[in-house]
Structure 1
Amino acid sequence: MPLPSVTRSLSAKLLVLTVLFVLLAEVLIYTPSIARYRLTYLEERLAAAHLAALSVEATPDMMVAMELQNELLAHVGAHAVELIRPDSRVYMLSRSMPPTVDAVFDLRATMAPRLAADAFMALAQRRDRVIRVIGPSPKDPAFQVEMVIDERPMIRAMVDFSGRILALSVAISLIAAVLVFVSLTRLLVRPMRRLTEGLVAIRRDPDGTPPFQPSARTDEIGVAERELADMQATIRSALRQRERLAALGTAVAKINHDLRAILSTAALLSERLAESADPEVRRVTPRLMASIDRAVELCGQTMTYTRDGLLPLARADVPLRPLVEEAGAAALAALRPDVVRPDGERAELRWDNRVPEGLTVRADAAQLSRALVNLGRNAAQAGAGAVAVTAETRPGGGLLLLVADDGPGLPPRARDNLFQPFAGSARAGGVGLGLAIAREVLRAHGGDLRLVESTAAGTVFALELPPGIVVERAARLGEMPTSESPIPD
């Protein structure tokens, strides 16, 4: 798979996201800023109006010539000004014909949300309004100032302020984006690209790719690099081991073929020994035949295990109860007459099928039956006299099959190597492939095989099948066997 182009790379996405987030932050900052700018503008006009109205007090007769009033009002940018002193005296400046007021704004008790709303309403205004502004004087809050002004000059000042804010926001966003882009590229993007290239190279040529060299970083990137290096070493080791095992399997298959021919000849000769006139020869002949049969079984199981590889599944809708019944019959048929339990008695088995009628699963009938046969045969060979199979559905269409026996339990050595081929047998002379094959069958179906418990009262294995495997449910499912009594009396 090729690496993504520059426009689709992580670096480009980080750059775009950084610009967008900075602009979003500037937008959030702009709202209180424009509201504060409008309030400051009006307060400055109120302060100028206060100073202009005080000129009335300086005249002898408290009257100001119209020409001077017009000059003072022009300096303030107002049509009329009223100054109310604490002693209730009013000083007033006004043009001869002041315009009609379109809106009134009182700054004495206005909250921040209202100021923001008034600012945006002013920016959206398309007509030239005349507004009356009422508020305390910034020069002396004891004085109240009222003025009538045109709104358009304030709007133009607000638009100019917004333009400066926009230009500053764009500049800040670009600078921040570049800084963040460079920082993240050095800290994250380049190491991630190096990790990605290493993963792609390992996938393309797991064995021929040079070893990945992790950096000395101690953060998450450094941990990922070291884990990748360890994973590559593990994969290479597994591949080499697989090659050795494949070569060994080929050699074993050839040896096994010749060995089976030799054992067949030995079996024919052993049958002739049973007709010998020597009583001692006739006495040991059955033991010799049993040993040859075990050797033939070992060869057959070894060939089956090495030939299977990944199990191909032929899934179909299978009624579960008949399948379990057939597996029980096959397990009984697989017990040879010479197979004995640990107590020396001939191995026999009672198969108790508790799976209810009407339960259908989508699975490979032959492989699932093979797993159940292996579990039943192992139970009989380990000393069990009875095996019970129960079923329990799980949420989402999953299934749990419990295979419980009344045997003496697994020895510690068998538990430690339970699913290891050629190492997990619970009896002397056993191969240890039954549980390993059964687990492979369950995992091929997407489930697993696990040991629930193994005590002196018996052993319970759980066959877990994944959600969606149950096609049709039974009217009533069997109860799970308890640890005190896994097998009914």
Structure 2
Amino acid sequence: MLARLLRKPGRMGPVTGLSSRLLVMTVFFVMLVEVFVYAPSVARFRVDWLEQRVSAAQLTVIALEATPDASVTVELANRLLDQVGAHAIVVPPTATSVRRGIFRDMPPAMDVSLDLRDPGFFTLISDAFGTLIHGGERVLWVKANAPSLVGGRVDLLIDEAPLRRAMIAFSWRILGLSLLISFLTAALIFVTLRWMIVRPLREIARSMIRFKENPEDASRSEAPSARSDEIGLVRRELAAMEATVRQALRQRARLAALGEAVTRINHDLRNILTTVSLLSDRLSGSDDPDVRRVSPTLMAAIDRAVQLCQRTLDFAREGGPLLKRSRFALAALVEELKPILSAPNGREFTLENAVDPALEIEADRDLIFRVLSNLGHNAAAAGAARVTVTATVEGGQTMISVTDDGPGLPPKAIANLFQPFAGAGRSGGTGLGLAIARELMRAHGGDATLVRSDASGTVFRLRLPIAEGAAAPQ
């Protein structure tokens, strides 16, 4: 339904709307419940109707026994039978009494015998529907308890047609009442759900449509709801999601602008740095020992400037890195990091390679080198004296841990970790190193995460899926 709303804003058919479906479903389910209520109700009505005839028959027998010779004229007998609605009323004989009762001159033959003395629940329901289905043409012989008569029993011979007409009239009354209850209940539920659910959902849908039309317009944001139920939770989460997406779009626009600017100046900057590099090479051959001494430092500074420019350009460029996978020993790659990692200001720094020499991974060698280099440079710049690289294989994943003994990351850096230009852990940093490391690991189908960072040091974990068919080291 939401997708339909997003395709056609503001348009909703009278039948396809959620409100209409709720109305129809409510009426349907209430009527379904009424069907289950109707079956025992019509069976009870049938028993009550028959028991009324039994009560009238008891009174007739009592009046008959009050006569001097327990007999009446044929005309009076017919009138009494008409009053009861029966063709015959019979009191079966007992050990102390004979059979007695009144009959019409030519009573019809019995079709069905009914015993009301100990009926079962499902038997009553089955007999009731039998009366409705068979058309009322049968003649019933009804056996019932009669506590006020000698022998405690009375039998009646009656037509089924009056009973069936009364049951049909009762059914119509039940149907009318059920429809009234259904529509009243449906109307109340419809209004309640429309106010509590449908209306807020439509507002959420309209907010999503407005956000889709112009995500960067803050005036189109979903207002956080004060409701404490699921609808309120959805609106609050939607408002938070829109704010996050808007912030990401703005950051992406800034990065795109930055990438465009760096692209434009990159060519000129490289030419300038190339000229400076050539001059630095000539300075390294100078006879002045002081000039020769500062030349390597100058060259290193120029190289770092070129690398920073290129790294910023690579990060701002759209599209993920192109992987050139190969299979190589991870320990050998870590060994290549040792000559290029050093602490600033000449501090002592050690890279410990604790990776199993037999462990091989399948990945882009240059990109994994770049990831480890970024983490190593960050650790050295943060004040670490030792960085240890270990690796294990766990559940189809190669887990590479980079542990340092530095002072740990500041809380602000941890809160914005892996975010470019926001997650720098030291003064003057850009935060691009960790952002690029995570991007490169995710390009391999893995990830880069922070395990811990405290006064004892910092641990980063790199997760790299093992390629199919690759064997783990024995």
TM range (shorter): 0.7 to 0.9
Instruction: Tell me, in whole angstroms, the C-alpha distance in 2 between the residues paired with 1:178 and 1:336.
Output: 77
Matched, 1:169 2:178: yes
Match in the other structure for 1:438: 437
Match in the other structure for 1:14: 22
Do the aligned residues in 2 keep the contact of 1:403 with 1:461 (CA within 8 Å)?
yes
Matched, 1:198 2:207: yes
Instruction: Tell me, in whole angstroms, the C-alpha distance in 2 between the residues paired with 1:179 and 1:372.
Output: 64
User: Equivalent of 1:403, from 387, 400, 411?
Assistant: 400
Residue 177 of structure 1 deviates from its aligned partner by 2.8
Matched, 1:189 2:198: yes
Match in the other structure for 1:55: 63
Residue 323 of structure 1 deviates from its aligned partner by 3.2
Which amino acid is the alignment partner of residue 418 of structure 2? F
Relative distance call for 1:251 and 1:39 in structure 2 (3 A) is same
User: Equivalent of 1:262, from 272, 275, 281?
Assistant: 272
Instruction: Tell me, in whole angstroms, the C-alpha distance in 2 between the residues paired with 1:431 and 1:243.
Output: 18
After superposition, residues 108-127 of structure 1 pair within 5 angstroms as 108-126=117-135
1:62-92 deviation line (CA, Å, top 9, x unaligned): 1222332222122212122234799964642
Instruction: Tell me, in whole angstroms, the C-alpha distance in 1 between the residues paired with 2:86 and 2:144.
Output: 15
Instruction: Tell me, in whole angstroms, the C-alpha distance in 1 between the residues paired with 2:462 and 2:154.
Output: 88
Match in the other structure for 1:148: 157
Match in the other structure for 1:484: none
After superposition, residues 36-435 of structure 1 pair within 5 angstroms as 36-83=44-91, 89=97, 91-126=100-135, 128-137=137-146, 143-208=152-217, 210-212=219-221, 214=223, 218=227, 220=229, 221=231, 224-225=234-235, 228-229=238-239, 231-307=241-317, 309-311=318-320, 323-325=327-329, 333=336, 335=337, 337=339, 339-341=341-343, 343-344=347-348, 352=356, 355=359, 365-366=363-364, 369=365, 372-378=368-374, 380-381=376-377, 382=379, 387-393=389-395, 399-405=396-402, 407-408=404-405, 411-413=408-410, 415=414, 418-422=417-421, 424=423, 432-435=431-434
Match in the other structure for 2:450: 451
Relative distance call for 1:311 and 1:338 in structure 2 (3 A) is closer
Query: Counterpart of 1:7 in 2: which secondary structure?
Result: coil
Do the aligned residues in 2 keep the contact of 1:349 with 1:380 (CA within 8 Å)?
no
Do the aligned residues in 1 keep the contact of 2:40 with 2:125 (CA within 8 Å)?
yes
Do the aligned residues in 2 keep the contact of 1:448 with 1:463 (CA within 8 Å)?
yes
Query: Counterpart of 1:288 in 2: which secondary structure?
Result: helix
Do the aligned residues in 1 keep the contact of 2:335 with 2:353 (CA within 8 Å)?
yes
Relative distance call for 1:258 and 1:8 in structure 2 (3 A) is same
RMSD of Structure 2 on Structure 1 (CA): 3.9
Instruction: Tell me, in whole angstroms, the C-alpha distance in 2 between the residues paired with 1:99 and 1:133.
Output: 14
Instruction: Tell me, in whole angstroms, the C-alpha distance in 2 between the residues paired with 1:134 and 1:295.
Output: 111
1:91-150 deviation line (CA, Å, top 9, x unaligned): 422234444433333223324333223212322335733222222348899943321222
Query: Counterpart of 1:404 in 2: which secondary structure?
Result: strand
Relative distance call for 1:46 and 1:82 in structure 2 (3 A) is same
Instruction: Tell me, in whole angstroms, the C-alpha distance in 1 between the residues paired with 2:250 and 2:349.
Output: 46
Instruction: Tell me, in whole angstroms, the C-alpha distance in 1 between the residues paired with 2:238 and 2:316.
Output: 31
Residue 374 of structure 1 deviates from its aligned partner by 3.2
Which amino acid is the alignment partner of residue 21 of structure 1? F
Do the aligned residues in 2 keep the contact of 1:135 with 1:145 (CA within 8 Å)?
yes
1:362-383 deviation line (CA, Å, top 9, x unaligned): xxx54xx555323432455446
TM-score by length of 1: 0.77
Unaligned runs of 5+ in 2: 1-6, 380-384
Instruction: Tell me, in whole angstroms, the C-alpha distance in 1 between the residues paired with 2:158 and 2:340.
Output: 116
Query: Counterpart of 1:402 in 2: which secondary structure?
Result: strand
Pick which of 180-189 and 4-13 moved more: 180-189
Instruction: Tell me, in whole angstroms, the C-alpha distance in 2 between the residues paired with 1:51 and 1:332.
Output: 114
Relative distance call for 1:245 and 1:152 in structure 2 (3 A) is same
Instruction: Tell me, in whole angstroms, the C-alpha distance in 1 between the residues paired with 2:445 and 2:138.
Output: 76
Relative distance call for 1:219 and 1:74 in structure 2 (3 A) is same
Residue 34 of structure 1 deviates from its aligned partner by 0.6
1:213-259 deviation line (CA, Å, top 9, x unaligned): 74986354455445545554554454444434433332333344433
Residue 199 of structure 1 deviates from its aligned partner by 0.9
TM-score by length of 2: 0.79
Relative distance call for 1:21 and 1:42 in structure 2 (3 A) is same
Unaligned runs of 5+ in 1: 394-398, 480-489
Do the aligned residues in 2 keep the contact of 1:338 with 1:346 (CA within 8 Å)?
no
Residue 40 of structure 1 deviates from its aligned partner by 0.8
Residue 306 of structure 1 deviates from its aligned partner by 1.2
1:8-35 deviation line (CA, Å, top 9, x unaligned): 1112211211221221122122122111
Q: Count how many residue pairs are aligned between Structure 1 and Structure 2.
A: 453
Instruction: Tell me, in whole angstroms, the C-alpha distance in 2 between the residues paired with 1:353 and 1:88.
Output: 113
Instruction: Tell me, in whole angstroms, the C-alpha distance in 2 between the residues paired with 1:217 and 1:172.
Output: 35
1:434-485 deviation line (CA, Å, top 9, x unaligned): 43123224445665332335686984514266xxx964475xx569xxxxxx
